[in-house]
Structure 1
Amino acid sequence: MILLSWNCRGLGTPRTVRVLKEMTKSHRPNFLFLSETLVEGNKVEVLSSKLGFSNYFSVDRQGRGGGLAVFWKHNVRCSIFVSSQNHIDVVIKEINSVSWRLTCFYGFPERERKQAFWDFLRFLSTKSQLPWCIFGDFNDLLYSTDKKGRHPHPNNLLNGFKSSIEDCCLAELELKGVSSDHEPINLELFNMDVSKKQVRFKFENTWMKEEKFHDDVVEFWQSLPAIHLLPKLTTVSDYMAKWGRNFFHKFREKVIKQKEIIDQLKDREDDDGIQLYFNEKEKLSDLLLHEELYWKQRAKTFWLEEGDSNSRFFHASASSRKKMNLIVGLRAEDGSMITEHGHLCNLLERYYKIVLSDTNHADITKFPNYSDEGVITNEQNNMLTAEIEYEEFPATVKSMHPDQASGPDRLNPAFFSISGKY
C-alpha cells in the first residue's frame, strides 16, 4: 500500500490541481491526505473524481484557513474513526484481516498553542489499542538540525515535542529527500504481516492503592477449591489480569477529565460547591499517585520514594529502559541483518540449539585456571542442596524490593508481601 501526504496550501488554483494530478500519477497512492485545502467539501468531491479516487472524506476550512481531506481507492477497506479541524482518524483493514489505525494530522502552527498540540497528541494515543501510524504536517521539530535559518528553534519546544512523542510510544520514521515541510510525504508499506503480540500479565503495584482490589482478590481466592498453590496462583493471576483491564492504564486521559471537573467547580462559592471542589482535588491527587507508581515500577528506579511527584522522570526512565532493551535486528551467520519478527525467532532458535547441543559443550579441563579440586566444601554443598524451609520464603520475599521483576509465576515481590492477607 502507498500513502501520500501533502500540505497543498490551497486547492483553489488550477496550478495546484495540475501538480496534484501529476503527483498522484507518478506515485500512484492508494491513500491520499491533503492538509490546508482552504476549500469546502463540494470542491473536494469534484477533486476526488478528477484524481480517480472512489472514496473521500473532508473537514471544511474554518474561516480563511485550514481544511483537511483524505481520499482512498476502492481496494482499500477504510473507515473514518473520528475527526477534528486538525486530524482525521482512519481505521484500515488489510486483506489478512489485520486492522490498524492511521491518523492524518495537521499541527497547530502558532507557538502559543504548542502545549495544546502536545496534549492533544497524548489524548489521541488513548483512543485505540490498534497498531498506530500518524503522518502529515506536525508544524513542529524534533531536532535543532531540522531548523533552517539563522535563528535556532527554542529548546523548550524541541523538548516538549519529544516528550509528547515518547508519551505516545511513537517512533520516528526516517525520511529521505525531504527539503521542505511542504514537500509531499510518500509512505510505502511493503510488509503488512503484523504479529499479534501476546499481552503478558504483569502485577501492577498501583492496584494495591485500591481498597476494592484487596476485597475482590480475597473474595476470589477464598472461592477457589483447596488445590495446589501453583495452580491457585495461576488462576488468581488470570483473575487479576481481567480486574486490571477494568482498572485504568491510560492515566493521562483520566487526569485530563478530572482537571476538567475541577475547572468547572473552582468558581463556586457555596458550601456544597467548595466541598465538591476539595473532594475532586483529592481524587486528582489519587490519580497522580497511581500514575507515579505505574511509571516507577517500569523505570526500575528504586532510590526515590512515593509522593515525590517525579512521574515525568519515571516515565523518561521507563522509556529509556525500553529503548535499551529493544532488539531492532540481529546479524545472521551469513552477515545479513534480520529484522522481521518471525525470522528473528527462527534465528535465535537455531543459535541456541547449536550452543546448547551436546556436541558444542566446551571442555572445562582446558580452561587455564581449571582445578580438579572441589570448588565448594561438603558443608556448603549440603546447605545448597537442603530442602527449603517455610521460614525462608517470607524472609526472602521481604528482603526484595517490591518493584523487582516478576518470576515465572507472573507475580512480583509486592504481591507476595501482602499475600498473607489471602
Structure 2
Amino acid sequence: MEIFVDAINHCGLREVDYVGPRFTWIYQRKDGEQIRERLDRAFATQEWMDLFPTTKLHHLSSLASDHSPLSLHLEYQQKKMKVRRMFKFEYMRLKDRRCEEIVKTEWEEEEIIATDRVLERCLERCRAELSAWNKSEFGHVGRKISELQSRFEGLERQPSSTEQIRELKNTRVELNCWLDKEDVMWRQRSRLNWFQRGDRNTSFFHAKASARQKKNLIVGLMDANDVWQEDDARMEEIVVEYYNNLFSSSNPEDFSELLAAVQLKVSLAMNEELTRVFTGMEVRLALK
C-alpha cells in the first residue's frame, strides 16, 4: 500500500470527489454480518481537474454485484448565484508603494471630516478607495502578465538599439514585479501559512487555491431520507431544518442518565461537613 501511495504522489494524481453512498463494496458473511469498504476510486492529474473542475464520481446501486457501479460525470451546470463580493485585502498590494499612500491619504481626510464613528468611517473609506484602485490596477493579474510577456517577446525580435535595450530592461523589471505579485496572490489565496518564502511556484499555489474553492462549493446535500438534493431551494430547507433540530430542545424530563455520567467533585464527607448546622463558636469567630 505504501508503494501504491508513492506511485500516486509521483504521478501527481488527485482523488475525484464522489456523490452517493460512502462504500462501494459489500461482503455478506454467513453469520449475518456485513463488511463494507470503499475499494473503488477515481484519480486524475491537476491539469485534467482544471479542464473539468466540476467532475463528480457517482456511486450507483447494484442489485447483481457486490461492487457498486461508478459513473463519472464530467460536466455539471453550475448555478450562478448573485453574491456580493466581500472586500479582502490582497497582500500583493503592499508591493506597490501607492497602496500606503492611498490608505494614508484617505485615513487622514476622513479623520478631519468625520464627527462620530471615526474608526468605522476611516475603514470604510479605505475599503472603497482600495477597491477602486484594485479594479483599475490589479483587475486581472494574469492578463497583465500575458501582455508584458508578449511585449517582451516582441522587443527581443527587434533590431538591437539603445532604445530597444532600455525598453527591454524596463519590461523585464515590470514583468518580474508582476510575477512576484501573482505568486504572493496565490500564496495568500491558498492559505498555506507554513510556506512563507522561497522560490516562485505559482502553479502549486494556484492548484491549492482552486482545490480549496472547489471544496467550499456545495453542489448538493443529502436530506433526512438519504436522497441527494441539488436544487437550491431544497438545499436551503435542508440546512435550516438541520440547525433548527440541532438548536431546539426536546424538553426532556429525565436527567438521570446525564447526571450519572457527571463525575462527583464533592465527596459525601465533604457534603456532610458543608451542610451541617453552624455552632455558636463558629458564628462568633466569623463576626470578630
TM-score (norm 1): 0.41
Deviates more, 1:313-322 or 1:352-361: 352-361
- Alignment match of 1:239 (pick from 129, 133, 140): 129
* 2:84 alignment partner in structure 1: 198
Deviation string, structure 1 residues 123-179 (Cα, Å, up to 9, x no partner)? xxxxxxxxxxxxxxxxxxxxxxxxxxxxxxxxxxx958527537xxx53589xxxxx
* 2:258 alignment partner in structure 1: 366
Deviation string, structure 1 residues 169-215 (Cα, Å, up to 9, x no partner)? x53589xxxxxxxxxxxx998xx974312222211111111111111
- Looking at structure 1, the residues matched to 201 and 259 of structure 2 have their Cα atoms a distance apart, in angstroms, of 49
- Looking at structure 2, the residues matched to 301 and 188 of structure 1 have their Cα atoms a distance apart, in angstroms, of 29
Aligned-pair Cα RMSD in Å: 3.6
Alpha carbons of structure 1 residues 223 and 333: separation in structure 2 relative to 1, 3 Å: same
SS of structure 2 residue aligned to 1:263: helix
Mapped pair 1:171 → 2:34: no
Aligned-pair distance for 1:283?
0.4
Mapped pair 1:162 → 2:48: yes
Alpha carbons of structure 1 residues 161 and 320: separation in structure 2 relative to 1, 3 Å: closer
* 1:95 alignment partner in structure 2: none
Aligned-pair distance for 1:360?
6.9
Alpha carbons of structure 1 residues 268 and 350: separation in structure 2 relative to 1, 3 Å: same
- Alignment match of 2:141 (pick from 251, 265, 283): 251
Aligned-pair distance for 1:373?
5.2
Are 2:92 and 2:184, in contact at CA under 8 Å, matched by a contact in 1? Answer: yes
* 2:16 alignment partner in structure 1: none
* 1:277 alignment partner in structure 2: 168
* 1:356 alignment partner in structure 2: 247
Aligned-pair distance for 1:254?
1.3
Alpha carbons of structure 1 residues 257 and 361: separation in structure 2 relative to 1, 3 Å: farther
- Looking at structure 1, the residues matched to 174 and 137 of structure 2 have their Cα atoms a distance apart, in angstroms, of 15
Mapped pair 1:227 → 2:113: no
Matches within 5 A, 1:133-172: 161-162=47-48, 165=51, 170-172=53-55
Alpha carbons of structure 1 residues 196 and 360: separation in structure 2 relative to 1, 3 Å: farther
Are 1:195 and 1:341, in contact at CA under 8 Å, matched by a contact in 2? Answer: no
Are 1:205 and 1:297, in contact at CA under 8 Å, matched by a contact in 2? Answer: yes
Alpha carbons of structure 1 residues 352 and 242: separation in structure 2 relative to 1, 3 Å: farther
Are 2:102 and 2:129, in contact at CA under 8 Å, matched by a contact in 1? Answer: no
Deviation string, structure 1 residues 1-31 (Cα, Å, up to 9, x no partner)? xxxxxxxxxxxxxxxxxxxxxxxxxxxxxxx
Mapped pair 1:336 → 2:219: no
Are 1:251 and 1:291, in contact at CA under 8 Å, matched by a contact in 2? Answer: yes
Deviates more, 1:270-279 or 1:288-297: 270-279
Instruction: For 1:321, give the aligned amino acid.
Output: R
Instruction: For 2:144, give the aligned amino acid.
Output: K
- Give the greater-gyration-radius structure (CA): 2
Alpha carbons of structure 1 residues 360 and 193: separation in structure 2 relative to 1, 3 Å: farther
Are 2:54 and 2:76, in contact at CA under 8 Å, matched by a contact in 1? Answer: no
Are 1:299 and 1:318, in contact at CA under 8 Å, matched by a contact in 2? Answer: yes
Alpha carbons of structure 1 residues 330 and 372: separation in structure 2 relative to 1, 3 Å: farther
SS of structure 1 residue aligned to 2:196: coil
Divergent runs of 4+, >3 A: 158-161, 170-174, 358-365, 371-374
Instruction: For 1:322, give the aligned amino acid.
Output: Q
Alpha carbons of structure 1 residues 335 and 204: separation in structure 2 relative to 1, 3 Å: same
Aligned-pair distance for 1:349?
1.8
Q: How many residues end up aligned between the 2 structures?
A: 202
- Looking at structure 2, the residues matched to 243 and 260 of structure 1 have their Cα atoms a distance apart, in angstroms, of 25
- Looking at structure 2, the residues matched to 214 and 198 of structure 1 have their Cα atoms a distance apart, in angstroms, of 26
Instruction: For 1:293, give the aligned amino acid.
Output: V
**Which structure 1 residue ranges, 5 or more long, are not aligned?**
1-157, 175-186, 375-422
Are 1:289 and 1:307, in contact at CA under 8 Å, matched by a contact in 2? Answer: no
SS of structure 1 residue aligned to 2:200: coil
Aligned-pair distance for 1:277?
0.6
- Alignment match of 2:214 (pick from 323, 334, 337): 323
- Looking at structure 1, the residues matched to 115 and 265 of structure 2 have their Cα atoms a distance apart, in angstroms, of 49
* 1:287 alignment partner in structure 2: 178
* 1:75 alignment partner in structure 2: none
- Looking at structure 1, the residues matched to 54 and 257 of structure 2 have their Cα atoms a distance apart, in angstroms, of 49
Deviation string, structure 1 residues 57-89 (Cα, Å, up to 9, x no partner)? xxxxxxxxxxxxxxxxxxxxxxxxxxxxxxxxx
Are 2:148 and 2:175, in contact at CA under 8 Å, matched by a contact in 1? Answer: yes
Q: How much identity, in percent, do the aligned residues show?
A: 22
Aligned-pair distance for 1:241?
2.6
Identify the structure with the greater helix proportion: 2
